[in-house]
Structure 1
Amino acid sequence: MNQIEERLEPHLNKLGASNKTVFGHPAALFVLFFTEMWERFSYYGMRALLTVFLVSEISKGGWGWTNAEAMGLYGWYTSLVYATPLIGGMIADKLTGFKKAILIGALLMTLGHASMALEGFDANFFYIGLGLMILGNGMFKPNISSMVGQLYPDTSSKKDAGYTIFYMGINAGAFLGSLLCGYLGEKIGWHYGFGLAGVFMFFGMLQFYFGQKIFGVIGNNPKNDVPEVTKLQDEVEEVIEEEPIPANVVKDRLFVVAVLMIASIFFFLAFEQAGGSLSIFAKDYTQRVLEGNTATTFKWIDAILTIFPIAVVTFVLFSLAKKIFKEYPLTIFFTSISFLSIAVLGLWKVQREFTALETEVTVSWFQILNAFFIVMFASAFSKVWEKYWNPSGPIKFALGLFLVGFSFVVVAYGASDIPQGAVAGAVRVSMLWLVLAYFFQTMGELCLSPVGLSYVSKLSPKKLIGLIFGFWFLASAISNKLAGMMGGMIDKISQEYSLSTFFLIIAIMPMAVALILVLMNPMLKKKMHGIN
């Protein structure tokens, strides 16, 4: 523990934040871990279904939209999901505080999923649900990320590791949501998949509500704090910053944040093809009906992929429960109930697939790969950054951009056997290409996304951190809209050139930006003024 952390600890105790630790990190981090996990369960569970639902035939319960139409709605929805955090961050900074904003957002998203589950009765419920999801995410997303940053001083070597652990929670939720909501939606009924996502968002809201005191005054309403608390918060800021930061340093650091935000647009433009063009590729051009030994092997792999992550995150829950159950029993109770439900659903899914006469891989199954690889490799990346190799933020970003670009080189090579203008379903290629692509995308994501959250927290002025996080997600909004526009061109480009050409175009952009960041690295490191 360095001197700043030693001087900060008494102030955190006075603020009422728990000093208990789990795996060497604040126990409060893991309350945020599970809250974010269930929110990501709801979001990615719905995202796994959205495009496939829209393009599926009306006879199969879908809406029968064209690929371009579906990608248009997908682009608008995902972009607005990431644009509203700018407003949500401002509301939390000025009015509600982070805690209330998170609870408001969770409630809105729960209602949104409930509305989407009613789409079979009236199509308007579907659009109302999307709207509630967009508003709820705006209140939730930037503020929970901000609270993670406040658990650590900027100089702590554990801050990047803490964000990586938090990111593992994000992807545990993404994995389980894509797996179970996608399976229910495609195999049983679309409204079951949409509705299941809302059930676990509700659980996440309850476990956070009953665990709020573990944060002390971190995340409280800035307008309603009593003078003594406000004074203590100011003292904590003084300890962290040591002295007022010169204006030119603030300007330089915000310049670095801006550069990283722009770079992230090109990363997520490619990465967000997962719910768009890559889903279309999986549906129309990937061999998903398996037979014989291949089918048996897949069933066992799918069973392991279903059960193992549930077991890993349950172990994390058990470790947290040992530390905080006495003080926060309802938080542990609701999280435990939700995990028991998940375990039952997972075992039901495995049993159903083993007894099925035909093995058909769902389109949404491929989206679990990214989250599974995150859960498997997040802790390894965390240890690498802490103990072995910890390059600057721009270099980590460049590596992430290169890897996500390379993932589309892999898909382009796999699609090279599909002739120009091939009719959907006429030619299908091996699942292996998508599996490899998601692996390289995940390695890139681990280099960029959690590191980006950490650097936004470290480089931003404390009083504007919610707003700056809002801008970070605004950059993601731009990238998601561009991703939808790009994905909507899949039919046109594949007809005029080839499907392989379409994916190569996507690959080139992030790889070019990676080279630019490597060249800018010395200048950006200087402008960070000691933040590493």
Structure 2
Amino acid sequence: MQNQQQYFGHPRGLFLLFSTELWERFSYYAMRAILVLYLTDATINGGLGWSTKDALDLYGTYTGLVYITPLIGGYLADNYLGQRRSILIGGALMAIGQFTLAMPAEAIGIAPMHSFYLGLGLLIAGNGLFKPNISTMVGDLYQEGDNRRDGAFTIFYMGINIGALLAGVVAGSVTNSFGWKAGFVAAGIGMLISLVMQMTLAQSWLGNIGKVPAAKRAMEKTKSQTKQPLTKEEFDRIKVILIMSLFTIVFWAGFEQAGGLMNIYTQQYTDRMIGSFEIPAAWFQSLNPFFIITLAPVLAVFWVKLGKREPNSPVKFALAMFFLALGFLCMVGAVLEQGGDTSVKTSMLWLVGAFFFHTLGELCLSPIGLSLVTKLAPLRLASLMMGAWFGCNAIANYVAGYVGSHVGELGAMAIFSGIAVTATVSGAILLLFANKLVFWMHGAEGYVEASSEEKQAEVQPA
């Protein structure tokens, strides 16, 4: 049985999952903040000396695989391993992967590039097992119809971004002081903390949640020895997940320029001087999580204040697209400030504005989407559907790397303005079809029928 002890109106298991994800995301974002910079840095400084195009191509491939492997990890967890065992195996693989990147290749007796690709491979495989299952377990803490679920995902999402906030600052500072390998060591330590917390506290804080594969639990619930076909209602709800997933591709393909093209732009074309101090480029990767942590409670209160006028999930997704477009208009402003002269350094305020609007968009899309998947997915497909959700992020990350890598041919202006236009058109399409999508949810949007008191209870814990 699940441990029913409550913290701040939520099962205490939420805060274990919050902390486990916090340190895993610290590990991921610490490595992501320095990956492209490490690849493109001169070999004399300890980097690999790659071209910008090659580095961004690899970045797109890596982040794409990071988000496609949860499809496999979700399937294995649903049918064989269970969510908790998948998290432990995945966490161990990721820790080994980070330390493999940090270790001198000669120490393990293989060629330097083989060691580098081995480390990336372990991170990709481990992430596939970890990512879909930690999010699904958050949903499993709550019974169907529990109006605390959206608030729980807001808390969980803030944990993700506390980890990301720490990652950019720590990775930037450590690499500036001790070199690139030290940054990978810091990322590995973060993953070890996540793993140890899950190993020592899961049984007492989560009870049996995540131990039994979802397919087996579904058969026990229906008292059937075979998997049942999907009902029309379940099929409609899956359609909503898949359709909404397509729009996430557009959003994340733009948003993920943060770790690639925008990261390069920060390093090469942004005036990062404050007095005699030059801000490390990796520190700008912490702007997004900083804005998440400060804006999430404000936005949650804003939704409550709207009362019956609170927008449904498709409309919130449309708002996310419009905010993404505004962010890239800021980047267009930065390019215009250069006036065609690449020797001109642009103001940091353009980047701050871009990250601010992108963050508002993320808050309208990402935690809402995670919660929606746990509401709509059939129990026996819970982790698989979460994996499919992240699978669309994989496509988006590949597209992001592909688009960013062509900056030399197309120019930054064409890329930034093109993303802004695409996002605006996508948001308009979502607004047109929002009501049909809500109809296919068959009442899963709790706030449609919830009272104002229930809405208050849902948002207040965040």
Structure-1 residue corresponding to 2:40: 55
Structure-1 residue corresponding to 2:235: 251
**Does residue 172 of the first structure (1) align with residue 162 of the second (2)?**
yes
Structure-2 residue corresponding to 1:409: 329
Check the 8 A contact 1:97/1:221 in 2, yes or no: yes
**Does residue 378 of the first structure (1) align with residue 291 of the second (2)?**
no
Distance 1:207 1:232, change over 3 A: farther
CA distance in 1, matches of 2:414, 2:222: 57
Q: Within 5 A, what are the aligned runs for 1:159-198?
A: 159-198=149-188
Structure-2 residue corresponding to 1:392: 312
Which residue, out of 349, 355, 358, partners 1:432? 349
CA distance in 2, matches of 1:249, 1:100: 31
Query: What are the Cα deviations for residues 416-475 of structure 1, in whole angstroms up to 9, with x where unaligned?
Result: 02243x44xx11111111011101111110010000001111111111011101101110
Query: What are the Cα deviations for residues 51-80 of structure 1, in whole angstroms up to 9, with x where unaligned?
Result: 111111222221121111100000000000
CA distance in 1, matches of 2:105, 2:416: 35
**Does residue 202 of the first structure (1) align with residue 192 of the second (2)?**
yes
CA distance in 2, matches of 1:264, 1:157: 24
Bigger shift: residues 433-442 or 181-190: 181-190
Bigger shift: residues 388-397 or 514-523: 388-397
**Does residue 501 of the first structure (1) align with residue 408 of the second (2)?**
no
TM-score by length of 2: 0.90
Structure-2 residue corresponding to 1:264: 248
* TM-fit CA distance, 1:377: 1.8
TM-score by length of 1: 0.78
Structure-2 residue corresponding to 1:489: 406
Identity across the alignment (%): 41
Letter in 2 for 1:219: G
Structure-2 residue corresponding to 1:3: none
* TM-fit CA distance, 1:235: 8.2
Structure-2 residue corresponding to 1:464: 381
**Does residue 20 of the first structure (1) align with residue 5 of the second (2)?**
yes
Structure-2 residue corresponding to 1:277: 261
Distance 1:29 1:408, change over 3 A: same
Check the 8 A contact 1:119/1:126 in 2, yes or no: no
* TM-fit CA distance, 1:410: 0.9
**Does residue 234 of the first structure (1) align with residue 221 of the second (2)?**
yes
Check the 8 A contact 2:253/2:400 in 1, yes or no: yes
**Does residue 368 of the first structure (1) align with residue 358 of the second (2)?**
no
Structure-1 residue corresponding to 2:395: 478
CA distance in 2, matches of 1:78, 1:388: 37
Query: What are the Cα deviations for residues 304-348 of structure 1, in whole angstroms up to 9, with x where unaligned?
Result: xxxxxxxxxxxxxxxxxxxxxxxxxxxxxxxxxxxxxxxxxxxxx
CA distance in 1, matches of 2:327, 2:115: 37
CA distance in 2, matches of 1:132, 1:202: 15
Check the 8 A contact 1:46/1:194 in 2, yes or no: yes
**Does residue 514 of the first structure (1) align with residue 427 of the second (2)?**
yes
Q: Which runs of 5+ in 1 are unaligned?
A: 1-14, 237-243, 292-357
Equivalent residue pairs, number? 434
Which residue, out of 55, 76, 79, partners 1:91? 76
CA distance in 1, matches of 2:243, 2:393: 13
Query: What are the Cα deviations for residues 281-324 of structure 1, in whole angstroms up to 9, with x where unaligned?
Result: 10111001332xxxxxxxxxxxxxxxxxxxxxxxxxxxxxxxxx
Check the 8 A contact 1:35/1:205 in 2, yes or no: yes
* TM-fit CA distance, 1:232: 11
**Superposition RMSD in Å:** 2.1
Q: Which runs of 5+ in 2 are unaligned?
A: 107-111, 446-462
Matched residue SS, 2:82: helix
Letter in 1 for 2:286: I
Check the 8 A contact 2:214/2:380 in 1, yes or no: no
